[in-house]
Amino acid sequence: MTKKHLFLSIALLFIVFACQRTLTYKPIADKYEADYKVNRLENEIVNYEKNDAAIGLDKLQGQTLFYGSSSIRLWKTLKEDFAPISVINHGFGAATFPEMTYYAERMIVPYKPKTLVLYCENDLFIGKPQRTPEQVFDNFGELATLIQNRLPKTKVYYISMKPSISRKADWAKVAKADAMINDYIKQHKNFTYVDIRPVMYRSNGSINGDYFVGDSLHMNAKGYAEWTKIIRPILLKNN
């Protein structure tokens, strides 16, 4: 082997190694010690596994998977709203990003989704002391890194956090966390930021309370219909 061929071989090995390297996420904020266990919603996860096993995991692979907190879990018309796209609903309880990361190897990876839709707005509100927007961003960053390592070909759509009326006092923190997440997404080609905030407002600039159920946190059918108007065309275009 000539020196030229040896150099080319080493260069090729370096390129292959670089392409296969595992991404890591470096937190920007102080570590947060949660006062809840990340497996507290285990029963819901087990139920999904049982139901999906009955269908057959092989039949569920390659679809569009919605993954997140109760705003996903309570989306009862999800399949109808996004037909003819085949969708899976893996929303669970009052999930936070750390819990979504904890269960990703069971609720995302085995399904090898073509498309993954993420939603979560609970990190600022579950656990004491309250997280900072920077800590929320770190939580998202850890999940996003896992997805990139385990599912590098999956297209990921992140739905912006809605301005829940019951959480009005913290809207500024929610907006800051989302802005940081949006900046991250702009730098990663397989990720897309989907902004649903505009449809949550009336023409006079106030939040439309008609889109919420009695707790002023979760949405009703009217609210989900507005989300569908934003999200459906984007998924149809890219499926």
Sign of the dihedral through C-alpha 97, 101, 103, 105 = positive
Q: What's the CA gap between 225 and 87, in Å, rounded?
A: 16
CA distance 183 to 180: 5
In the 8-state DSSP scheme, what is residue 161?
Answer: P
The pLDDT of residue 52 is above 60: yes
Q: How many CA atoms lie within 13 A of 125 on its CB side?
A: 17
Q: Dump pLDDT digits (tens) for 145-182.
A: 999 999 999 999 999 999 999 999 999 999 999 999 99
Q: Can you tell me the mean pLDDT for 24-51?
A: 95
Place of tokens 């897309």: 192
Read off the pTM. Answer: 0.90
Phi and psi at residue 232, in whole multiples of 5°?
-55, -50
150 vs 211: CA distance, rounded Å: 36
pLDDT of residue 149: 98
Residue ranges and CATH numbers for the domains of the chain are 33-237 (3.40.50.1110)
**How long a stretch of residues is the chain?**
239
Q: Would you state the structure tokens that stand for residue 127, as one six-digit string?
A: 């656990």
CB 227 within 8 A of CB 198: no
| 197: exposed, middle or buried (Cβ count in 10 Å: 0-12, 13-18, 19+) | middle
- Pick the closest to residue 68 from 37, 101, 27, 36 (CA basis): 101
Neighbours of 21 (CB within 10 A): 9
pLDDT band at 239 (very low <50, low <70, confident <90, very high): confident
Helix (H, G, I), strand (E, B) or coil at 103: coil
Q: Are 118 and 160 in contact (CB under 8 A)?
A: no
Q: What is the CA radius of gyration of the chain?
A: 20
Confidence of residue 21 (pLDDT cuts 50, 70, 90): low
Give pLDDT, residue 229: 97
Mean pLDDT for 131-147 is 98
Helical H runs in the chain? Answer: 3-20, 42-55, 57-60, 70-73, 78-82, 97-102, 104-107, 133-150, 171-186, 221-237
Residue 66 CA to residue 114 CA, distance in Å, equals 11
What's the gap between Cα 221 and its chain centre? 21
Q: What is the pLDDT of residues 92-131, one digit of tens each?
A: 999 999 999 999 999 999 999 999 999 999 999 998 889 9
Q: What is the pLDDT of residue 217?
A: 96
**Cα distance between residue 227 and residue 195, in whole Å:** 9
pLDDT value, residue 9: 43
With a cut of 60, say whether residue 12 has pLDDT above it: no
Q: Does residue 218 have a pLDDT over 70? A: yes
